[in-house]
Amino acid sequence: MQNTAILLINCPDRKGLVATVSGMLYERGANIIHADQHQDHEAGLFFMRVEWALDGFDVNVFRRQFAPVAAELRMEWRLELSSTVTRMAIFVSQYLHCYADLLYRHKAGELDCEIPLIISNHPGARALAEFHGIPFHQIEIGADGKTGAERRQIELLEGHGIDLIVLARYMQILSSDFVSRFPNRIINVHHSFLPAFVGAKPYHRAFERGVKLIGSTSHYVTEVLDDGPIIEQDVTRISHRDQLEDLIEKGRDLERVVLSRAVRWRLAHRILSYGSKTVVFD
Amino acid sequence: MQNTAILLINCPDRKGLVATVSGMLYERGANIIHADQHQDHEAGLFFMRVEWALDGFDVNVFRRQFAPVAAELRMEWRLELSSTVTRMAIFVSQYLHCYADLLYRHKAGELDCEIPLIISNHPGARALAEFHGIPFHQIEIGADGKTGAERRQIELLEGHGIDLIVLARYMQILSSDFVSRFPNRIINVHHSFLPAFVGAKPYHRAFERGVKLIGSTSHYVTEVLDDGPIIEQDVTRISHRDQLEDLIEKGRDLERVVLSRAVRWRLAHRILSYGSKTVVFD
Amino acid sequence: MQNTAILLINCPDRKGLVATVSGMLYERGANIIHADQHQDHEAGLFFMRVEWALDGFDVNVFRRQFAPVAAELRMEWRLELSSTVTRMAIFVSQYLHCYADLLYRHKAGELDCEIPLIISNHPGARALAEFHGIPFHQIEIGADGKTGAERRQIELLEGHGIDLIVLARYMQILSSDFVSRFPNRIINVHHSFLPAFVGAKPYHRAFERGVKLIGSTSHYVTEVLDDGPIIEQDVTRISHRDQLEDLIEKGRDLERVVLSRAVRWRLAHRILSYGSKTVVFD
Amino acid sequence: MQNTAILLINCPDRKGLVATVSGMLYERGANIIHADQHQDHEAGLFFMRVEWALDGFDVNVFRRQFAPVAAELRMEWRLELSSTVTRMAIFVSQYLHCYADLLYRHKAGELDCEIPLIISNHPGARALAEFHGIPFHQIEIGADGKTGAERRQIELLEGHGIDLIVLARYMQILSSDFVSRFPNRIINVHHSFLPAFVGAKPYHRAFERGVKLIGSTSHYVTEVLDDGPIIEQDVTRISHRDQLEDLIEKGRDLERVVLSRAVRWRLAHRILSYGSKTVVFD
């Protein structure tokens, strides 16, 4: 695979942004592979993602020269290199379908990342971690409460240089303190079509309400429960013939797909979030 | 088209229900065209829909003989005849897409009903009514308030022997008194994937929340706003590229489809509702 | 609505294309509203669509200055102005659902075009044309055969300065000669998920084959039957309970949606076609 | 889980079939849990599936008493017991996604079967088989050609009393002789929306054709390639932005879902096939 750089920009909209960025890249001989931009006219914001090949391109020089331009244009920006592999931790509890799916996809080469760490409050996930040769840490909430458990989790995450945390049906609510340490770095899957059925037991509530479609949502975690920017959603049709357990079973397939898409897009640096929304460049 | 009878049953589940009903029909020589049943194991309920050809079948005798059996088995039931055409009224306000769609489908033979009556609180719907040759009544909320308007509506509905009221984006909230007169006889379309975005301006709220799918829901109207039994739902994928007006435009296609399916199923006597749910036999 | 210009480009891929185009626009003070580009790496092709506001922008000067640049870069390009309204003709036969849908959408303001002309080989479409106040021409294949009918059609199309022909379930196969006069200007809807069930009676064949989804396809018409670049496709789930007439009825909703999307995208100059494919900028 | 019996019937349609079957079950005290029937009016066929609890029900007596009734009504029928666990073999080649998915679902309790046997013409699938503790047989086409390989496969299948063979992206075409030994007992997944792109390399051909949806199909294997009765199909939307490898990656998720649904339905004895079609009771 080719070495590439990816520039992600989020800034107030104004004339000439595309011309400025593409001009700078062209002058330095960049061979652009993908480029996409988006304007939120209502919010007056501009978003851009450009990816180019690095052969013969000095990315450090570009970074230095781009910084003052970006500052002048009030850009939030980051420059990612495809050669820097994301380090991802998975958190899981007793339901293993999303977890097993992520591990399988990783092994099959679908997820371009390293997984140095699996953390669970249950023992059930250990066997698969061992099969895949990934260190498994069982951290239960002990005498020192959730604070103590989170302290040990944070030590592990920081010790392993983790860039991305994926909650693969992890059934503990993370504290605000934990969440605020990892902004836009925690992806969760919720087993409903958010904002319908925020909170616990969404399938039960969907069943009681008599909906004709069930859904699943992957989103960044923020300090407000189930309220972070939505990355992906999908639904499946159900009918009166589906009992509660059918909803749960059909929902598992949705959860897998919706979570793995979000992870894949995050690893390809295709998501920009702002307010309660995301731009997902495809 | 063949003359048929349709028997709809809703009762506590117990052994022998199918045998009893199908046995009675067989003994009387009924030629069954469709039959379907459903059990809600959790609620302990049994639902059945049977349709049979009427050639040489005395439906009045059957009705008389079935009544005591049904009473003993604590059945709620009704017997519909395909020869009795449903009389449907449409209520509409300024958005005409669902209304125009229903009128077109009616003319094209997709909706097996008569439409003796269109009621609107706006003049905009009049031209299409006239093109289709259907009496149009503009009833605005006048000096006597909503009560007066509803009184005039009820007079029209009762005067024309209306069986079914379809709210095709009718933007007035009906009073409890009005709703309670027409149980399971008012179908509404809500422009969201209920129960997400209950109430007003759902597309605005979906846009602000940053969802990746928008939906639409058709449901029976009950006294609690947007809470009646759901008949049909569908969704469309959107992306960050869709502005609010795109959501509204894409949503219109959903609303048309979701409402017209509900109406068609109701006219074919395929919907049974119980609690906040429906069984839709397909 | 704002006056805008839309530049559509299709050319061999090379470095600096975005920089060149966006630079030229920026220098002339263009306020870009939408921009999107795409590279087909396999085919080595680059596609771009840019839309900008015209206040204070001299589009004729730009056109003159852009032409030599485009020639040097071997671009196929065109510059469309939102102020130039597309003139669209509808061809229809006996099935009126797509036709009625397009007329309704036009009236409701969803389709930004003029419809100076409806052509049919059947009388059934006349009433709706008259309701909408659009001239209706019934052209049947007479003694002079298809050639004669097409000659009269072409006279009408040319006489009215038609830019776009929409075949709304028009059941006659157009001759190669006719098709070749209107490249990328004839949109058809085929009632199958092409390339499954190419040709006649696709619902019958889908029913016989026992598929679990039926589809519909809108595409540009080329000289090979049902083989032109696909613009849009969609599907609906069916089950064994659906008889042939159910497929036809469910399919009608697909046809309407799939055709109207293609027309809307064409009117917004969002489609670029190459080989047997399309790029649809969204 | 409750012990149940499942009766599956396929016969010429006539009056009284439901009454006869449900009457016989009622007289013997059966507590029916699910019942569904279907009529193909065009083909004049009747299909039924009934499931009832076995407590206090003598299934052997019923079988004996039902046989002459069924013969008289020219029924094809079978009686399955939930206590008799299906024995399923998986065939796999180098693409492991469907295979890994089935093994995971089996372990998670979603597939009610035993898997005594995995057969592959590649070594790559061995590690997962060993992790799951399932005997793995690598059978390559050797000096004795496909006939020899199939002979060894048949010995294994018969030796292990296999009821169901699942081709989880098995890339060898089975001989007519092999197929005819296992009627309605071999389920395959084809990576297209059949009958589009029958045969090899469907994603390549879908990419070249420029379709806007890709699909996947699970079906029973018959002697004509990719022509057996379709059990399930699903599609995913793609756009011009998707390159060939994106189609392949998105398609993998479809294949997994479409194959696993077919397997689950087969294990629940919910599929009846006739001609080139299936009835799938839900």
pLDDT computed for residue A96 by the predictor: 96
Helix (H) or strand (E) holding B257: helix B244-267
pLDDT for D1:
66
**Residues β-bridged to residue D119:** D91, D137
Per residue in A41-71, pLDDT (tens digit) is: 889 999 999 999 998 899 999 999 999 999 9
Do A91 and A62 touch, CB atoms closer than 8 A? no
pLDDT tens-digit series, residues D92-127: 999 999 999 999 999 999 999 999 999 999 999 999
CA-derived radius of gyration, chain D: 21
pLDDT averaged over every residue in chain B? 94
CA-wise closest residue to D187 among D230, D149, D129, D124: D230
- pLDDT on residue D141: 84
- Rounded Cα–Cα distance for residues B236 and B251 (Å): 8
Shortest distance, CA A96 to any CA of chain D (angstroms): 8
Q: List phi, psi (to 5°) of D96.
A: -105, 0
d(C-alpha D191, C-alpha B183), whole Å: 48
CATH of domain D4-81: 3.30.70.260
Partner chains of C (3+ C-beta pairs under 8 Å): A, B, D
Return the structure tokens found at B212: 């990746």
SS3 B140: coil
- B226 a catalytic residue: yes
pLDDT in tens, D170-213: 999 999 999 999 999 999 999 999 899 988 999 999 999 999 99
Query: Tokens representing D187?
Result: 């389920």
Contact partners, residue C155, CB within 8 Å, separation at least 6: none
For the entire predicted model, the pTM comes to 0.95
pLDDT of residue C8: 97
Distance, CA of D69 to CA of D83 (rounded, Å): 25
Which tokens go with D281?
A: 């009771």
C-alpha span between D127 and D96 (Å, rounded): 11
List, edge to edge, every strand of the sheet that includes A76-81.
A31-40, A45-53, A4-12, A76-81
D249:A110 CB<8 A: yes
A237 band by pLDDT with thresholds 50, 70 and 90:
very high
pLDDT band at C282 (very low <50, low <70, confident <90, very high): confident
Note if the bond before A202 is cis, omega within 30 degrees: no
Residues of A in Cβ contact (< 8 Å) with B275: 210
D170, D190 in Cβ contact below 8 A?
no
| For residue A270, pLDDT beyond 90 | yes
For chain D, list residues whose CB is within 8 angstroms of any CB belonging to chain C: 38, 40-42, 193-197, 208-213, 215, 229-235, 239-241, 243-244, 275-280, 282
pLDDT tens string D205-218: 999 999 999 999 99
DSSP state of B172: S
* Residue B29 CA, distance from chain mean position: 32
For chain D, give every domain's residue range.
4-81, 86-280
Six-digit token string for D200: 């090899």
Cβ atoms of residues A118 and A136 within 8 Å: yes
pLDDT band at C266 (very low <50, low <70, confident <90, very high): very high
How many angstroms separate the first and last alpha carbons of chain C?
Answer: 19
> Is residue A23 helix, strand or coil?
helix
Predicted local distance difference test score (pLDDT) of residue B226: 87
Structure confidence at residue A18 (pLDDT) = 92
Structure tokens at A204: 């039960």
- The answer to whether B187 touches B167, Cβ cutoff 8 Å, is yes
> Is A23–C22 a contact, with Cβ atoms under 8 angstroms apart?
yes
Average pLDDT estimate for C266-279: 95
Q: What pLDDT score does C65 carry?
A: 97
- Could you say which of D15, D16, D32 has the minimum Cβ distance to residue B18? D32
Shortest CA gap B47–chain D (Å): 11
pLDDT > 90 fraction of chain D, expressed in percent and rounded: 89
Buried b / exposed e along A22-41 (16+ C-beta atoms within 10 A): bbbbbebebbbbbbbbbbbe
Q: Which of B25, A87, C229 is nearest to D18 (CA)?
A: B25
Q: Please count the helices (runs of H) and the strands (runs of E) in chain C.
A: 8, 13
Tell me what pLDDT residue D142 has: 79
Tokens 């009906």, residue located? B174
Nearest CB partner across the interface for D232, out of C194, C212, C277: C212
Q: Per residue in C133-172, pLDDT tens? A: 999 999 988 777 888 999 999 999 999 999 999 999 999 9
pLDDT, tens only, A14-48: 999 999 999 999 999 998 888 899 999 889 999 99
Pick from A181, A172, A187: nearest CA to A154: A181
CB B89 within 8 A of CB B160: yes
Residue type, C141: I
Local confidence pLDDT in tens for the 282 residues of chain B: 689 999 999 999 999 999 999 999 999 999 888 889 999 988 999 999 999 999 889 999 999 999 999 999 999 999 999 999 999 999 999 999 999 999 999 999 999 999 999 999 999 999 999 999 999 999 988 777 888 999 999 999 999 999 999 999 999 999 999 999 999 999 999 999 989 999 899 999 999 999 999 999 999 999 988 889 999 999 999 999 999 999 999 999 999 999 999 999 999 999 999 989 999 998
Over the stretch D16-63, which tens digit does the pLDDT of each residue have? 999 999 999 999 999 888 889 999 988 999 999 999 999 889 999 999
Residue D144 or C63, more confident: C63
pLDDT the model gives residue B104: 95
Give buried/exposed letters for C252-273 (b at 16+ CB in 10 A, else e).
bbbbbbbbbbbbbbbbbbbbbb
Give the mutation candidate from A37, A94, A105 for the D interface (greatest D CB count, under 10 A).
Answer: A105
Nearest CA-CA partner of A16 in C35, C91, B166:
C35
**Would you call D250 helix, strand, or coil by DSSP?**
helix
Residue C279 to residue D38, Cβ atoms within 8 A: no
Q: Note whether A249 contacts D110, CB cutoff 8 Å.
A: yes
Which among D100, D239, D282 has CB closest to A104? D100
Alpha helices in A174-243 (DSSP H): 176-181, 202-209
Cα–Cα distance measured from residue A256 to residue A251, given in angstroms and rounded to the nearest whole number: 9
Number of neighbouring beta carbons within 10 Å of residue D102: 24
Candidates B238, B249, B280, partner chain C, best to mutate (most C CBs within 10 A): B249
Question: For A82, what's the count of Cα atoms within 13 Å in the CB-facing half-sphere?
Answer: 17
Report CB contact under 8 Å: A212, B229: no
φ and ψ at residue A237, rounded to 5 degrees: -75, 135
pLDDT for the residue numbered D177: 95
Report how far residue A178's alpha carbon sits from residue C120's, in angstroms, rounded to the nearest whole number: 68
* Model pLDDT, residue B172: 92
Q: Are A92 and A120 in contact (CB under 8 A)?
A: yes
Contact D22 B25 (CB under 8 A): no
The string over C101-127, giving b where at least 16 C-beta atoms fall within 10 Å of a residue's C-beta and e elsewhere, is: bbbbbbbeebbebbbbbbbbbeeebee
Q: At a CB cut-off of 8 Å and minimum separation 6, what does B158 contact?
A: none
Given B108, B239, B257, which is nearest C96 (Cβ)? B108
Q: Please tell me the distance from the alpha carbon of residue B178 to that of residue B174, in angstroms, as a whole number.
A: 6
Say how far apart CA D91 and CA D66 lie, in whole Å.
37
**Nearest Cα to Cα of residue D214 among D246, D240, D241, D192:** D192
User: Which residues of chain B make contact with A277, given a CB cutoff of 8 A?
Assistant: 209-210, 240
CATH 3.40.50.170 fits D86-280, yes or no: yes
The number of residues making up chain D comes to 282
For residues C239 and C102, what is the distance between their CA atoms, to the nearest angstrom? 29
Written as one letter, the residue type at C208 is E
**Shortest alpha-carbon distance between residue B30 and chain D (Å):** 7
Report the pLDDT value the prediction gives residue A282, as an integer from 0 to 100.
85
Confidence of residue C225 (pLDDT cuts 50, 70, 90): confident
Partners of residue B234 in chain A, C-beta under 8 Å: 213
How do strand B45-53 and strand B31-40 relate by DSSP bridges? antiparallel
Complex ipTM value: 0.93
C15-50: per-residue pLDDT in tens? Answer: 999 999 999 999 999 988 888 999 998 899 999 999
Q: Which one of D39, D211, D258, D270 would you mutate to disrupt binding with C, by most C Cβ within 10 Å of its Cβ?
A: D211
Strands B86-92, B113-120: pairing kind:
parallel
CB neighbours of residue D106 within 10 Å: 20
Report whether pLDDT(D146) > 90: no
> What integer pLDDT is reported at residue A1 of this predicted model?
66
Beta carbons within 10 angstroms of residue A110's beta carbon = 18
CA A265 to mean position of chain CA atoms: 7
CB B97 within 8 Å of CB B252: yes
Chain A adjacent subunits, 3+ CB pairs under 8 A? B, C, D
In this structure, the strands spanning D113-120 and D136-138 are parallel
Give the model's pLDDT for residue D249. Answer: 93
